[in-house]
Structure 1
Amino acid sequence: MEHLGSFQEFPQETSVFVNTRVDWKETPEAHVFKADLPGLRKEEVKVEVEDDRVLLISGERNVEKEDKNDTWHRVERSSGKFLRRFRLPENVKMDQIKALMENGVLTVTVPKQEAKKPDVKAIEISG
């Protein structure tokens, strides 16, 4: 299971929340990715395919607007951009990927192609 996580695309001053956790499981029918993205709306998340076989999950959590009258006592929720890349195997249907965002969890389903059964043809034996 190979995944390429690269954060060089974003400037250093942008805090990157690298704690975007993604589970990848394979079922007989599909590869299923689940990412915890609490507090993000689906409009703030992108699911893309790069070079035909690389799944990209990215997004941005914006910093809350500061009010000059507010006093912050603690800031623990991370903000900034994130990007995760996963190289998919050859047996996937890249044109049938589905993405669903529900309760802060993004689920991306990549269907697999049916394994080809050998084409057996009976040959009549003469003689």
Structure 2
Amino acid sequence: GSTRVDWKETPEAHVFKADLPGLKKEEVKVEVEDDRVLQISGERSVEKEDKNDEWHRVERSSGKFLRRFRLPENAKMDKVKASMENGVLTVTVPK
């Protein structure tokens, strides 16, 4: 399933919130690309398994995702801040 991201604009900033349950901060990347593109990506590390294990059903996502947002002119892309708490990623881009 696709990772849901909320984007709200306050008088001071653009704020993105993403639910990333089970992901650790080290597994999430927040990058700024040319032309004010904010890229949020992540990958849940796959658990090691024994060769003898047999999977009968795999429904948990491997946790790979990538979302991109083009921000308006008023975004200060060089001051992006990201924090992660309780499986929720918050990215703040000041204006």
TM-score by length of structure 1 reads: 0.65
Report Cα offsets for 1:1-43 as digits up to 9, x if no partner.
xxxxxxxxxxxxxxxxxx2111101111111000111111111
Matched, 1:65 2:48: yes
Question: 1:52 is paired with a residue of what secondary structure?
Answer: coil
More strand per residue: 1 or 2? 2
Structure with the greater alpha carbon radius of gyration: 1
Structure 2: gaps of 5 or more residues: none
Checking the alignment, whether the CA contact within 8 Å between 1:32 and 1:107 is kept in structure 2 is: yes
Report Cα offsets for 1:67-107 as digits up to 9, x if no partner.
24545554321005211000000011112111001111100
Q: What value does the CA root-mean-square deviation take over the aligned residues? A: 1.6
- Give the Cα separation in 1 of the matches to 2:52 and 2:58: 16
- Give the Cα separation in 2 of the matches to 1:24 and 1:75: 31
- Give the Cα separation in 2 of the matches to 1:25 and 1:39: 24
Checking the alignment, whether the CA contact within 8 Å between 2:37 and 2:71 is kept in structure 1 is: yes
Identity %: 90
- Give the Cα separation in 1 of the matches to 2:27 and 2:16: 18
- Give the Cα separation in 1 of the matches to 2:36 and 2:68: 10
TM-score by length of structure 2 reads: 0.85
1:109 to 78, 92, 95: 92
Match of residue 93 from structure 1:
76
Checking the alignment, whether the CA contact within 8 Å between 1:53 and 1:89 is kept in structure 2 is: yes
